[in-house]
Chains A and B, each alone.
Chain A
Amino acid sequence: MRSRPLWAPLLVAGLTVACGPGACAFGVDHSAQPPGGPLRVSAAVSLTDALTPVARKWEAVGNVHVELNFAASNVLARQILEGAPVDVFISADEAQMNRLVEAGAAGRADVTPLLTNQLVVVTPAGRPLSGTLPSALADAAVKRIAMGDPQGVPAGVYAKAWLESAGLWRQVEPKIVPSNSVRAALAAVDSANADAGIVYGTDAKGHAGVTIAYEVPLADAPPIVYPVGVIAKSPHPDLARLFVAYLQTTPARTVFADAGFVVHDTANAR
């Protein structure tokens, strides 16, 4: 009977020592990156499908790699306030961006409105609601309505404001399944575990599992503006500003418009 080789645990121990706190001798080699990169962009989860191709387009013309981090804007804002290494933040509402500006984490001059979105009511594919929307949301047959947490997730904050102005909030509130991002709300409707959901039009568009049952008229809901801002602690602010400017160029605007966003006409050169 042979004994187990001794070198295996030793090798593991050696590797562990080599990867001390801070740096790892066997880590990923970033030297192949163009200088200054990568650029870390934290963006509202509703931008997932639109921003990813925009970032790849930006890289395709010879720019540094963009690392995208998608989550609910309030979550991202908190991460940035706690010191997450982020260069650019795109929020789904102005409140979360203002949180950063007020805390000094982003310069007011570095914040620009970029996009506008619209709320829609979605139902699981093949399970339409009876009755006319939006008042049907108050019907007893509708038991669960998925939306972003109205206490913080922008899509939920907007949805609550709309429901309040439509006089439906009181009846709808007990049915709400608050999720920690608009995508999670969409998934709950997709699986038919929620009878309806209130999400952004851009998220619902092209999503096979859900049907857009009602588009909230722009005039009925608060304006859903996505501001973009450069984070003050960014190690390469000039590069970050360049990326923000790129988001307002025609190639980027085309992608956003195709996804269903209204692109702001503030392509003001800095």
Chain B
Amino acid sequence: MTGELLGIIQLTVLVALAATLVMLPPGVALAWWLARSRSPLTSIVETLVTLPLVLPPVATGYLLLRLLGRRGLLGGVIDRIGVDVIFTWRALVIAMVVMGLPLVVRAARAGFEQGTRRFEQMAETLGAGPLRVFFTISLPLARRSVLAGALLGFSRALGEFGASIVVAGSIPGETRTVSLAMYGFLETGRDGDAMRLVAVSLVIALAAVWLSNRLVREGA
């Protein structure tokens, strides 16, 4: 394995980890809210969050580009702050978060719906505030589902392609992840290197699916 390939794998894992850390807090919060709230808003929010799972990833990327690009809706604001987003690792993280969030929300929500409401009510009657209930009862009881969701979100981030190539490009050393590099290698006739990355992806995917299944099964 050459230094170039190791660099690509390292970059991919680091950015995907960062994306997973970013998507977990809002993902868990949304999952909890969706599991507990009776608000008519839940179905709208749920649909919006799930959308990137169903929409073609390139379409998601294009919408993000129209939002974050220099001539996009938020582009002026971003420009004034002086932060470069499009074609940087930041855009890559954003694309991964948007694509991975639905998986975190769906998995975590299942955990919050496992009939743990009774324990929460017990804590509440004993005088615990909602935050304390969440962190000492709800979250620990749903931890396996949350972990499974994080793992799925991480795997999704690792393999993200369609949205990434639109908003982050495929810049060597900055935004060229395993998927983007694989495609680039195929296009430039570097089949051997593409195959090496395929092998690495296969190992990571197998490990992630196995771990995720184990977490879900033992959590049930």
CB of A182, distance to nearest CB on chain B (Å): 14
Q: What per-residue 1/0 map shows which CB atoms of A194-209 lie under 8 Å from chain B?
A: 1000000000000000
B187 & A72 in contact (Cβ 8 Å cutoff) = yes
A78 & B186 in contact (Cβ 8 Å cutoff) = yes
Known A-B contacts A191-B65, A191-B70, A193-B87; the reply to A74 vs B189 at CB < 8 A is yes
B159 interface hit (Cβ, 8 Å): no
Chain B interface: which of A49-57, A105-113, A171-179? A171-179
B171 & A177 in contact (Cβ 8 Å cutoff) = yes
CB of B62, distance to nearest CB on chain A (Å): 11
B145 interface hit (Cβ, 8 Å): no
Residues in B neighbouring A194, C-beta threshold 8 A: 87
Within 8 A of B (CB), among A92-150: 99, 124, 143-144, 149
A192 interface hit (Cβ, 8 Å): yes
Residues in B neighbouring A193, C-beta threshold 8 A: 65, 69-71, 86-87
Q: Which of A72, A143, A178 contacts B170 (CB 8 A)?
A: A178
How far, in whole Å, are A178 and B70 apart by their CA atoms in the complex?
Answer: 18
Residues in B neighbouring A91, C-beta threshold 8 A: none
B69 & A192 in contact (Cβ 8 Å cutoff) = yes
A3 interface hit (Cβ, 8 Å): no
B100 interface hit (Cβ, 8 Å): no
B184 interface hit (Cβ, 8 Å): yes
How far, in whole Å, are A143 and B85 apart by their CA atoms in the complex?
Answer: 12
**Residue among B184, B186, B188 with max Cβ neighbours from chain A (10 Å):** B188
CB of A129, distance to nearest CB on chain B (Å): 15
Residues in B neighbouring A245, C-beta threshold 8 A: none
How far, in whole Å, are A179 and B171 apart by their CA atoms in the complex?
Answer: 9
B184 & A151 in contact (Cβ 8 Å cutoff) = yes
Residues in A neighbouring B84, C-beta threshold 8 A: 143-144
A178 & B171 in contact (Cβ 8 Å cutoff) = yes
B171 & A149 in contact (Cβ 8 Å cutoff) = no
Interface size on B, residues (CB 8 A): 17
A192 & B187 in contact (Cβ 8 Å cutoff) = no
B69 & A151 in contact (Cβ 8 Å cutoff) = no
B169 interface hit (Cβ, 8 Å): yes
Q: Which of A152, A153, A191 contacts B189 (CB 8 A)?
A: A152
Q: Which of B69, B169, B188 contacts A152 (CB 8 A)?
A: B188
Known A-B contacts A149-B170, A178-B171, A191-B65; the reply to A78 vs B189 at CB < 8 A is yes
Residues in A neighbouring B71, C-beta threshold 8 A: 191-193
How far, in whole Å, are A188 and B166 apart by their CA atoms in the complex?
Answer: 10
Residues in A neighbouring B169, C-beta threshold 8 A: 177-179, 188
B140 interface hit (Cβ, 8 Å): no
B87 & A149 in contact (Cβ 8 Å cutoff) = no
How far, in whole Å, are A124 and B184 apart by their CA atoms in the complex?
Answer: 26
How far, in whole Å, are A188 and B165 apart by their CA atoms in the complex?
Answer: 12
B70 & A152 in contact (Cβ 8 Å cutoff) = no
A75 & B187 in contact (Cβ 8 Å cutoff) = yes
CB of A160, distance to nearest CB on chain B (Å): 13
CB of A175, distance to nearest CB on chain B (Å): 9
B56 interface hit (Cβ, 8 Å): no
Q: Which of B70, B86, B184 contacts A149 (CB 8 A)?
A: B184
Within 8 A of B (CB), among A56-110: 72, 74-75, 78, 99
A180 & B187 in contact (Cβ 8 Å cutoff) = yes
Residues in B neighbouring A74, C-beta threshold 8 A: 187-189
Residues in A neighbouring B186, C-beta threshold 8 A: 78
A177 & B87 in contact (Cβ 8 Å cutoff) = yes
Known A-B contacts A144-B87, A152-B189; the reply to A191 vs B69 at CB < 8 A is yes
How far, in whole Å, are A144 and B171 apart by their CA atoms in the complex?
Answer: 10
A149 & B65 in contact (Cβ 8 Å cutoff) = no
B187 & A78 in contact (Cβ 8 Å cutoff) = yes
B174's nearest neighbour on chain A, judged by CB, is A174
How far, in whole Å, are A75 and B172 apart by their CA atoms in the complex?
Answer: 19
How far, in whole Å, are A75 and B188 apart by their CA atoms in the complex?
Answer: 8
In the assembled complex, 21 residue pairs joining A and B whose CB atoms fall closer than 8 Å, in A order, are A74-B189, A78-B187, A78-B189, A99-B189, A124-B70, A144-B87, A149-B187, A149-B188, A151-B188, A152-B189, A153-B187, A177-B171, A178-B170, A178-B171, A178-B172, A180-B184, A188-B169, A191-B70, A192-B69, A193-B70, A193-B86
